[in-house]
Structure 1
Amino acid sequence: MTGTLNPIGTSALIAREAAHTSVVWPLLSGSTRLVLVTGTAGIGRTALLNEVRDALEQQRVRTADVPLLRADRDRPQAVVTRVTEELARWSRPPVLFLDDLHRLDHDVLRALLEALPELGTSVVGSYRTPVRLEHTDLTDVLRANGLTEVVPLAPLNRSEVSHMVTGLLNVAADADLVRRLHEDSRGVPGLVDLAVDTYLRGEALRIIDRTAYLVGEPRGTGHRHAAVDRVKALGDLPWRTAKAMAVLHPLGPVAEELLDDTSALPDLEAEGVLVRRDGGWRFRAPVLAHALMASIGPYERHDLGWRAVSAIWEGRAFVQDPAYLPDRLIDAGGFADREKAASQLLAAGRAGVLRDPSARRWLHAAADRATSAVQRADALFTHAVACSVHNDMAAARASVEVALERSDEFTPDQLQELHLIRLVGMAAAGDRAGLRKVADTTWRTLPGGASSRFIDRAVALCYTDRWDEAATLLASTRTMWRLGNAATVTFGELFGMSAALMTGRMAEFERIVNDPALCPLHATERDRPAVKSAVARALLLAGEAARARRVLEGERPLASDQALLEVAEGRWDDALAHARKALVTGSTLGAVIAHTALARDLTSMLLARAKLTRAREVIADVRAGQNVLPHVLDAPEADLELVLGARDKSRQVLRRGLAHAAQHAIVLGTDELQLRLAIMSLEDGDHEDAAARVEHLADVAERMDTGRAHRNHLLGRALTWRDEAAVEEVRRLVAERSQPHEMARTWTTLVAFRLADPQLLREAYELFGSMDALLPRALLRHMMRENGVAVPGRAATTAEQERLLASLVAEGLTNRELAGVLSTTEKSVEARLTRLFQRTGYRSRVELATAMLTGEYH
């Protein structure tokens, strides 16, 4: 998902409270004659002046603006005369506002400063730093005037950048995005705005769960923005020089030698665009260079790229950044030697295939410029791999389609990997029709050898939720595909493992889990992490977090794997961040198990934290895209409907999930649905239906033999038959598994059915608290009071109840819906809301929702 820029101005964000006070109070007290606001271009001087003017007028202090006309910038008496004429118009002298005093010539500014003590009023002015060389002696004039207050505006810190992004996009900002924005803008508000605009338009910024993430480098052509327009307004030569330096400045001192005319460099320095450093030039903020580079036309880009390439090839310049030369080779186009350019682009792409998303661009250019069939095949294959690694599945699929036109140029291993990338790309794009075509095609008509054809069909069957068919196909053809190349055998084993898990063929599943080295690619450094990750994801989907962590020991887990582990271990703040990052970057679109498991866990966490609307959005988004294993999402969706009081709809969702699983012979995850239905039946007094569902749970536990399946069966048996042995066994098992959310829910359920000491609710309450699970904690408080268990911390409880209410209000729930969720009346909700607004000072639901979004709510 993407967002749009909020048209609301950012002046309130820029005019920080301390600076605002430093200007307003001296003026109101009459202790200051001149307040001079200083700071770099884009820092927010004008915005602060506007804030001060509004504050003074609210205090009924008259104000007046005196425009500094371009024609008067070198006429000292003209400016002084206009100021005195403006004052003469008023019976009581107003506070005067003079913006951009740095634009005045030396004599004009000196005359104005010397006249200020005689004006009989206060003046608020702004001056852009650094101080112009010709103005340096005027500091003596300011010092001589004891009634002068200088208020420097400092750049924003990271926290302030985060608040500004929230104001622009109406969403929260990920910490990595904030860090990048702060670095690229150097904390200058006008350049933060430019960076956000550039990333958003360049499709490098995406939004999920009302949180903005940076998912790549911005792409696209330049666009109008005030920060760029200011440079363009300096004139044709400074504009052309600035654009050229955007490309050439990494070359250091050599960059200046490559310019046709260097006379505009001092002007760009004076305007705060460029700064001198280490004998060369650098941009004041990296984002300005990015924006200017995007404004360069095709011929300029080719010319500047060739100048940079020539300087490096001739040994006149050296750039440490490994991305600089390949990027300039692409810019240079046909100006650079084709064979040499292709070789260097291919080398750079190979080196960065796993770590640098830019490798995709370099490898694509290398394929276009290849001078031999071998070089072209190498570039196409590596490009497809790079696109796959960096989640650009549309480009990966397109590259594979081109590559397969000449399949004889690739090794069997490469062909198999290309086939898999193509299928993953189809899954990522939601091309279920294309996947069904592969799954249902006679295997002899598929491309590649016999072994790879079986694998292609099996993968397509898995990606269309036909796991039982995939398991049967792989088992019946095992003797053939095991004779294939390393990639074929590895993919056969891994997809066979996943299909076995889904359908309850646990002996086959455990064979690979216990010995991942049975996958030949496990022996290669490049592929070993991916093999381990596939095994760990399967275990995590089955609820076996401890085993998954052991599999990943010594590896650096992907964001998706890390999130799944953190959910199970109760580290929900970290889990939410990693889950959002994995989903927003599309890193799980081709990994159906991780994608569905992440969506399930993210939904459950959001629901527990009273983010009901967000939870529904996640479910809808996943179902609209890669809707594989949809019954796994039915468990949290049913929980959501139950929280909202839609009990019948919750039951329908659970039955729908079981029907889908039965239709596809899927066993995994059905125990979660059966247990929920059994509990609902017991609550409704339908013991017969509950008993039948416990029989299903027993069958699943026997087939799956996982901790989660046994927990669900034991809990169902304990509740239905009031089986004390089952109660003891499920308590022992859950404690041994040590998954906080599972443990807290188990304790709560046992007490609710009067099968455990109510004091156990204390532990459940603390466990839910460690995960900041507001909604279960609120429900537990009711249970604890009903069972005579003291709720700890009265003041903390009141604050938490208000935060829960605020969270639900921020989700857009009506008073009736709030009453249903909180198990109270609409009248009670109205009273609680009144107290909440009185205590917090927020005047509306909108203000409260904004405070929750920005994290400012206390």
Structure 2
Amino acid sequence: MRAANHVTGRIGAVDTGAPPRSTPQLIGRDTVVQQLIDCATALTGPAVWLVRGEIGIGRSAVLAALAERVRATGVTVHEVACLPRDHHTAYLLAHRLVTALSPTAALRAVTAEPSAPGTSSPAAARRPDGQPRTDQSHPTDPSQPSHAGQPGPAHHPSHPAHASQPGPDDPGRLLTRQLTRALRTRTRTVVLVDDAQFADPETVDLVRVLAPLLALSAVRLVLGVSPVRPPGSAPRAPRGPSWPFPDDLAGDPVWLPPLTRQEVARLVTHRLRAVPDRDLVAELYRLSAGNPGALAAVLGPAGEPTIGTLIGHAQLRPGAAPPVLPDDDRFVRALAGLGEATWRVAKALSVLEPLGSRTPAILATTTGLSAAAVAGALAELTAAGLVDEAAEPGPAARADTPARRWSFRVPLVAAALRARLGPYERRAVSAAAVRALWEESDRAAPGEGGGQRRDAERRAYLANRIVDAGALVDRSRALSELLFISAQLAPVRPRDAARWLRAAADLTDDPLLRASSLARHAATAYRAGDAREAADAAGAVLRTHGADLSPAARQELTVVRLMALAAAGDMAALGGQHGPASRATEGPSAIAGALTLCLLGHWAQALDLIAATGLGTRPDPVTRHFGALLRDAARLMVGTPAGLYAAVDAPADPSLPPHLAFELTLLQCDGLLALGSVRQAVALLERRGHDTARLPAETRFLWQFLTGSWDEALATARTVMVSRRATARPPVSVLVHAHTSTMLLAHGRPSRARTVLDQARAQPIAAAYLLDAQEAAIALFLGEPALAEEAVRRGLGEARERGHVFGTESLWTALAALQGDGDRPERVLLCLREVDRVATAMASDRSRLRYLRACLGALDRHPELASDLPDGSALADEALTLARTDEQPFELARTLLAVASSGGRARPETESLLREAYEVFGQLGALVWRYRTRTALRDAGLPVPGRRTVTEENERLLATLVTEGLANRQIARALAVSEGSVASRLNRLFHRTGLRSRVELATLMLTTNER
């Protein structure tokens, strides 16, 4: 059974005695902060500690958390920040340290502050090594990095430029005396210096001189250092990444590691207030490499188009390009601060990363820089922590001198640089990459490669570079490469393959090859989920190259265009085909007309057109099978699915192309799963040689929902709803929303369940009545029977108007239950007869099962109907047999509960049925149905298993309902208890957890709930 508790000490868990924090202060850094607390507050050991890490790793956040927590121990904490260009002013940091440690002494020294750049002070004019300073009057450069919201050195309140006059004593000596006095007189103090890489070398030298005294004092320095040289300074000497602080000045540095994948997921949850799915976490982790600054950039405004949020979960939008960092981003500023030559090399490197040891030579060629300049730029990027240099994998790495490769530490930075390449720069760099790869391919021995996955990545990289290179590479070879690579990788990278095929079409002058490539581009874009692109591309091909296509190819492309229009939700364009479609008689035109009518929800008219044109009996196999398939789909909706069931026993037609045969099998499988006929769907796939792993997303969702894989089904549903419209594949696309709402309501999330239905209704969907039964279930859960009956009658009215029968048994069943609460049994009987009629017409076990359960419920409420309905025991036995035959856990558990709750069952049998239902609902995570089953056990005078588990689940369900925004009155109706009972339970929950409000409870549920 699924555990109801995920985090000890939180909702549904054992009381640990300490109230939980609603949100952690610093995700992924608690261990590092505690280590720094131990270092900074120790009475012995090093007095200076370095906190080191790459750009964006979170040094400032760690120092801020350190300051807060050290202050909480009673130790005095001072926070000092260095700013870009502070290194130009001698003893500036020393002056700030004196100000922090001894404000009185600092005031006495105000007339003897160190000189500003450009003065005649000897100390300011020379570096610690005795050489003249070459940057005394470096002007302020607005293009260089600066701390947002902080003044530059020339305007800082404590900047030496504000001194009235230099004193008679040397500033360094005066500050040394002041700092020495401060160190001798202070009690335990911690001084935190952020961005200490901008510190002036004179202060660093002074700290080195005073290191012995500092070690004996009660003062501890914690310096945050990034491996980036100050802007405007000369290239650094090879003194290690902690420049300007040598290793002998401090204790062992404390490195800030990247966040783990799990920590990335937690951070995303807190930023988006939604639980991220695995694909989103994987992509964010890849883009950011665990760097919090990069992750914050992706989750900010620049990344909004790449992330979709739905029903409390965040999804990666399929095909969304990585966000482009703005010019004021920390990574872009750091790169710009390294100089023009390094900036040019970095932009080109963002394209050439996979080329390994050939990269420097290509960089020199494409940037016009010398080999030495390129090597220096690569060294700068590596020293700055922006680029990693490593041994190149593969055969080259086994040579006496291992080949090297350079790659950006954070892939998001590479994406930002690629976006800043000009059109010609992109073409030139890509062309150089293509030529290098072709040369390598020409020299490679037959069969030589780097593994299947690596070969696929290299082929995709080559194809992308060919597309970007355009006319700068050999046109004939580029065309053959794109066609070959797209054919190889289309199944796994359909969106990329569609782009490659579009580019291939532009490289050929052959009208037949161009038409074929564009048609493949449209079909591949549709399979990739890019419906708008597919519809536009297919329409363009049909208009400009229709005469160059064969009739079969033209017909297939027409089908792709119509399906893509529906998937894009462009029902206006699809409706424009309605008039001509209804009058079409020719094969391709008739197929297009029948499909258009089905997509618009006019299944009865589609049947008339198919019968008038004889599509299902044409000699052409493609036309005949399309016609038969559309006929069976339309018959399903109007209540005569015999043809669909017959398709299970029919073998695949060998005259059909393999891809069309597979598509037809999938559409037949959709119909069977929509009926709830899991066994027939399995038989169909096995007979045609397919398995469930190849099912498309909507079909896979139906399979997961019916077979009880609800966690996977919800994940699939979110992906479908974020990337596709409910208009795409009626009725399956509508059932995705209806069944998702069913699962959410079972989990105790009525607000999210209604949101899913509202999202579907906001679109011009066909068969909207399939949502109304679940709309009624939500209304009943919230204690709104009038709204429930309104929804049911609306759905029945729409179905009657359109002549639809499929799915109406759920509406009639719901209406029977609503009528059963009154004193009109004849109305209940009328509804039951309608359910029986629909179940008989659909010949579906699930429809029959719903009829049997409805009869059992009616007999409980109206025993006087016994003369008009079959015997209750016979109904119960048949229901149990049907429920156990088809492996559908939710239907089984509901049947077990319905049979056990009906009258006339022996006590031992009732207990076994209820306990089995309880277990199955637990496996599904259906908290609401578990609660109802517990109630049934108590009503039957039976013990409820697992007292501790019961308490946890009750708390979790209550917290979930509160998180959904339900008022106490609504919760009371949902749980069938009094409002006072709800208030008492909430008070106990708040007292046990230490939470103070519903907002805090909702926040805690968000961060600990996997759903």
Q: 1:543 to 1:71 in 2, by over 3 A?
A: closer
**What SS is found at the alignment partner of 1:281?**
strand
Aligned to 2:388: 275
Question: Displacement, 1:698?
Answer: 2.1
2:708 and 2:889 in contact (8 A); partners too:
yes
| Equivalent in the alignment of 1:5 | none
The answer on whether the counterparts of 1:339 and 1:371 sit within 8 Å (CA) in structure 2 is: no
Following superposition, the deviation at residue 81 of structure 1 comes to 5.1
Q: Is the 8 A contact 1:599 1:622 kept in 2?
A: yes
Aligned-partner residue type, residue 100 of structure 1: D
Name the residue aligned to 2:556: 417
CA distance in structure 1 between the partners assigned to 2:212 and 2:932 by the alignment = 68
Q: 8 Å contact 1:493–1:512 — kept in the other structure?
A: no
Partner Cα distance (1:358, 1:36) in 2 = 45
Post-superposition offset of 1:137: 11
Matched residue type, 2:893: A
- Distance in 2 between residues matched to 1:506 and 1:594, nearest whole Å: 15
Matched, 1:352 2:455: no
Deviation at 1:775, TM superposition (A): 1.2
Identify the match of residue 265 of structure 1 among 378, 381, 400: 378
State the one-letter code of the partner of 1:204.
T
C-alpha distance in 2, partners of 1:484/1:421?
19
1:270 Cα deviation from its structure 2 partner: 0.6
In structure 1, how many angstroms separate the alpha carbons of the residues matched to 2:488 and 2:830? 59
SS state at 1:430 partner: coil
| Paired position in structure 2 for 1:112 | 207
Match of 2:191 among 77, 80, 96: 96
How far residue 786 of structure 1 moved from its aligned partner, in angstroms, is: 1.9
**What pairs up with 1:12-161 in 2 under 5 angstroms?**
12-14=25-27, 16-28=29-41, 30-31=43-44, 33-68=47-82, 70-71=84-85, 73=87, 79-80=93-94, 82-89=96-103, 92=186, 94-103=189-198, 109=204, 111-119=206-214, 120=217, 121-128=219-226, 134-136=238-240, 148=251, 150-161=253-264
Q: 1:330 aligns to what SS in structure 2? A: helix
Q: Is 1:14–1:43's contact at 8 Å kept on the other side of the alignment?
A: no
Alpha-carbon contact 1:610-1:808 (below 8 Å) kept: yes
Taking a change above 3 Å as real, the CA distance of residues 315 and 572 of structure 1, as seen in their structure-2 partners, is closer
| Alpha carbons of structure 1 residues 292 and 143: separation in structure 2 relative to 1, 3 Å | closer
Distance 2:646 2:28 in 1: 63
| Residue of 979, 987, 994 corresponding to 1:841 | 994
Q: Could you give the per-residue CA deviations for residues 464-515 of structure 1, whole angstroms, max 9, x where no partner exists?
A: 21222223322343367622352x3332222222112112223222222322
**What amino acid is aligned across from residue 336 of structure 2 in structure 1?**
K
Judged with a 3 Å threshold, the aligned counterparts in structure 2 of structure 1 residues 73 and 692 are, in CA distance, closer, same or farther, namely same
- CA shift for structure 1 position 607: 0.5
User: Aligned-pair distance for 1:251?
Assistant: 1.8
Q: Which whole-Å deviations, capped at 9, do the CAs of 1:564-623 have from their partners, x for residues lacking one? A: 222212221122112222332328753223212221211100000011111111111112
SS of the counterpart of 2:222?
strand
Describe the shift of the 1:667–1:11 C-alpha distance in structure 2 as closer, same or farther (beyond 3 A).
closer
The answer for the alignment partner of 2:895 in structure 1 is 746
Q: How does 1:535-614 map to 2 (within 5 A)?
A: 535-553=668-686, 554-555=690-691, 556=693, 557-586=695-724, 590-614=728-752
Aligned residue for 1:190?
293
* Distance in 1 separating the partners of 2:71 and 2:520: 64
| SS class of match (2:254) | strand
1:98 & 1:198 partners in 2: Cα distance? 31
- Letter of the aligned partner of 1:240 in structure 2? R
| Contact 2:727 2:765 survives alignment (8 Å) | no
Task: For residue 344 of structure 2, give the secondary structure of its aligned residue in structure 1.
Answer: helix
Indicate the larger mover: 295-304 or 158-167.
295-304
Task: State whether residues 810 and 845 of structure 1, in contact with CA within 8 Å, keep that contact through their aligned partners in structure 2.
Answer: yes
Higher mean Cα deviation, 177-186 or 130-139?
130-139
Partner Cα separation in structure 2 for residue 172 and residue 421 of structure 1? 35
121-130 or 414-423, larger mean C-alpha shift? 121-130
* Separation (CA, whole Å) in 2 of partners of 1:269 and 1:592: 54
> CA deviation digits over 1:534-576, x for unaligned, max 9?
1221111101122223333442223332322222122211221
TM-score, normalised via structure 2 length: 0.78
The CA deviation at 1:834 is: 1.9
Within-5 A mapping of 1:259-658:
259=363, 260-261=368-369, 262=374, 263-277=376-390, 278=392, 279-315=404-440, 320=455, 321-356=458-493, 357-405=495-543, 406-441=545-580, 450-478=586-614, 482-484=618-620, 486=622, 488-515=623-650, 517-518=652-653, 520-521=655-656, 524=658, 526-553=659-686, 554-555=690-691, 556=693, 557-586=695-724, 590-658=728-796
Distance 2:284 2:379 in 1: 27
- TM-fit CA distance, 1:124: 1.5
Q: Counterparts of 2:202 and 2:661 in 1: how far apart (Å)?
A: 72
Relative to structure 1, the CA distance from residue 253 to residue 16 in structure 2 (aligned partners, 3 Å threshold; closer, same or farther) is: same
Q: 2:317 aligns with which of 215, 224, 234?
A: 215
Give the 3 Å change call, closer, same or farther, for CA 133–184 of structure 1 in structure 2.
Answer: farther
Q: Which amino acid aligns with 2:359?
A: A
| Corresponding position of 2:944 | 791
Deviation at 1:390, TM superposition (A): 0.5
One-letter amino acid of the structure 2 residue matched with residue 123 of structure 1: L
Distance in 2 (CA, whole Å) between partners of 1:536 and 1:519 is 19
Task: Give the counterpart of 1:238 among 342, 347, 352.
Answer: 342
Aligned to 2:272: 169
Contact 2:616 2:628 in 1 (8 A): no
Give the secondary-structure state (helix, strand or coil) at the position aligned to 1:296.
Answer: coil
The aligned amino acid for 1:816 is R
Q: Deviations over 1:297-317 (max 9, x none)?
A: 223222322332333345599
Matched, 1:666 2:804: yes
Partner residue in 2 for 1:4: none
**Which secondary structure does the structure 2 equivalent of 1:155 belong to?**
coil
- Farther off after superposition, 806-815 or 547-556: 547-556
Partners of 1:323 and 1:672 lie apart in 2 by 49
Cα distance in 1 for residues equivalent to 2:603 and 2:1003 = 45
8 Å contact from structure 2 (residues 302, 324) kept in 1:
no
2:918 aligned to which of 759, 765, 768: 765
CA distance in 2, matches of 1:48, 1:518: 66
Between the aligned partners of 1:355 and 1:137, the Cα distance in structure 2 is 41
Does the 8 Å contact 2:86/2:200 carry over to 1?
no
CA distance in 2, matches of 1:678, 1:234: 75
Rounded to whole Å, the distance in 1 between the matches of 2:482 and 2:241 is: 53
2 CA distance for matches of 1:110 and 1:798?
64
d(CA) in 1 for partners of 2:555, 2:86: 74
Q: Structure 1 CA distance, aligned partners of 2:500 and 2:727?
A: 24
| Paired amino acid for 2:196 | L
SS at 1:280 equivalent: strand
Change (3 A) 1:72 1:619: closer
- Specify the alignment match of 1:200 in structure 2: 303
The alignment status of 1:249 with 2:398, answered yes or no, reads: no
Identical aligned residues as a percent: 32
Q: CA 1:628/1:135 → structure 2, altered by over 3 Å: closer, same or farther?
A: same
Give 1 or 2 for the bigger CA radius of gyration: 2
Deviates more, 1:767-776 or 1:214-223: 214-223
Runs of at least 5 residues in structure 2 that lack an aligned partner in the other structure: 1-22, 105-184, 230-235, 393-403, 445-453, 860-864
**Residue type of the partner of 1:294?**
A
Aligned residue pairs, count: 841
Q: TM-score, normalised by structure 1?
A: 0.91
Quickly say closer, same or farther: Cα 1:547–1:563, change in 2 above 3 A: same
How big is the shift at 1:409? 0.9
Matched position secondary structure for 1:124:
strand
Residue by residue over 1:755-796, the C-alpha shift from the partner in whole angstroms, topping out at 9 and shown as x without a partner, is 545423222222211111111222232232222121111111
Amino acid at match of 1:684: G
Cα distance in 2 for partners of 1:302, 1:160 equals 39
Q: Which residue type is aligned with residue 251 of structure 1?
A: L
Higher relative contact order (CA 8 A, sep 6+): 2
Q: 880, 899, 913: which one pairs with 1:731?
A: 880
Shift, 1:645, TM fit? 0.7
Q: Deviations over 1:26-68 (max 9, x none)?
A: 4345445334322232221111001111223344543223333
Contact kept, 8 Å, 2:486 with 2:501, in 1: the verdict is yes
